[in-house]
Each structure stands twice: as structure tokens, then as C-alpha cells.
Amino acid sequence: MPKTPVAEDYIAMRDAYDAREFNVFVFDGEFNVDEQALTKTWTVRNRTEGKHFISVIGGDAATDADPTLGNARSVLNADNYIVNLISGVVVGSKTYHSSAFAPWVAGLIAGTAINRSTTYAQVPADDVTRRLTKTEFDAALTAGSFVFVNDGTKVKVKQGLVTSKQKVRNMRARQAISTDITKTAEDNYIGKLNNNADGQATLMVAIKAYLERLEISGVLSGPAVGLDPNFPSVGDQVFLAISYVEVDSMERILITVNV
């Protein structure tokens, strides 16, 4: 029999991952409320230290059967970097609760380009364990839950949301931009440029060029890079102010019919 994970194992796991690069974290099918709370704390701490990733969580059969319980978990774990799946699925003769199927969601997020959305992505399942009404779907999305829908022919993602109700697409783009800019600066500019007007201009031009490439790819629009007026860029420190407009996917098409 495999060893049952204990608190010490989880602590060791988080400590090990602190020193490794990854884009999405998910448990291996297990549901543990205490560890989900600690994972939220861990995810937030890493973000403040400049490491960006999405954490995916889920529930068990009991919480999947009652969407209000899944939504409560979304509210409890509300954060820009956390996705909470509240739908279980049926695949052939097997049923998977949302924690067991959360690794598939993690793979979906990791494998979706930052200029694409997970909304309406088809799910490799035959049905959901509980079909929601429109009112229940509305409540789930309002809570920031990641939920599946059976549209009569296939199972698909209703809307790609993190628990703060932001779009997964936008959060992944922000994470990629923060990570890429930091890495580019460390690899090519820090320690190699003088911190004067010429050196600062070279750094800003490079970052602007990177953002413009993302603009061409449809990730963002209107990028601007300048020195942050709130913090003096002197000594060995440079503070930049970076702004852009996030480009969203077409997720709702409103049609007016004139009869």
C-alpha cells in the first residue's frame, strides 16, 4: 500500500518546490482542507518573493454533490493564483471527484497558450457528477469557481476563472510577463549595464520590445515602459513602471434580433 501523506510530507514537498521552477501546482488527487489552506499561504508567499504559479484545488464527492460547498471553498481560497474545481466527472464506468480530476485541469491550464482561454475547453469525460441549473452556474461563477457543464453532447469548461473571479488567461499572462521580464533582466542586463540614463534606456527598450511581441501575439495592447516616478533609480537599483491593457477572449456573444 502507498504511504499516506502526512503533514511532514507536505511541508517537505513545498520546501522542495520552493527551489524549482514550475507553472502550475496541483495535489495528486487527494482532498485535504488543512493542506489547501497552507497551499494558499505558500502560493501567496511565493508571489511576494517573485515566483509565480497557479495552484489548482478541488473537493470530494460530498462537496461535489452540493455546489454551495464547492463555492464556499472558492471564497475561502479566493486569490488571483488559485483555481478551485467544484465539478466531479464520469468517465466510462468510473467516477472522479473534483480533487481527483484537478490534475487534468492543471494540465489544461499549463498547456493553454497565454493568448488563449480555457473557457469552453472540451473535457475528456462522459458526464459531470452533478448537472447544475442556470442559477447554480451563476452562483458558481460569482463565487469564482471553476465548473464543468454538460451541454447535451459534450462536457466542457463553463468559464476559466481563478477564485478571485479573474480570468485564468489574464492571470497566466501576468505571471509569464513578470517571470520573463525578471529572467531577461537577470540574464542579459543586471551587472552588465551602468545605472545611468543610457543603461536605463537600453533596459526599457528591451522590455518594451518583449511586450510588443506579446502585443503582436494578442496577449496585450498598448504597452508602455518608463522609470517609476515614485522610487528613485539610483545606486544599483532600477524601478520601472510597466503598463498595458490585457486582451481578453471572446467568451460571450450577445445577439440582438430585430423582428
Domains of the chain by start residue, with CATH: 7-168 (3.30.1370.220), 189-246 (no CATH)
pLDDT over 70 (residue 9): yes
pLDDT over 80 (residue 1): no
* Mean of per-residue pLDDT scores for the chain: 92
Q: What is the model's pLDDT at position 250? A: 56
Q: What is the model's pLDDT at position 248? A: 83
Higher-scoring residue by pLDDT: 251, 135: 135
- Answer yes or no: are the C-beta atoms of 29 and 94 closer than 8 Å: no
Residues 221-241: b if buried by 16+ CB within 10 A, e if exposed: eebebebeeeeebeeeebebe
- Enumerate the β-bridge partners of residue 227: 240
pLDDT over 70 (residue 259): no
Pick the closest to residue 83 from 25, 136, 29 (CA basis): 25
Q: What is the model's pLDDT at position 258? A: 40
Q: 195-242, pLDDT tens digit by residue?
A: 999 999 999 999 999 999 999 999 999 999 999 998 899 998 898 899
pLDDT confidence of 256, banded at 50, 70, 90?
very low
Q: 50-87, pLDDT tens digit by residue?
A: 999 999 999 999 999 999 999 999 999 999 999 999 99
Q: Model pTM greater than 0.75?
A: yes
Range 5-24 average pLDDT: 92
Give the Å distances, CA to CA, from 162 to 24, 146, 182, 187: 13, 7, 24, 31
Classify residue 96 as exposed, middle or buried by CB count within 10 Å of its CB (0-12, 13-18, 19+). buried
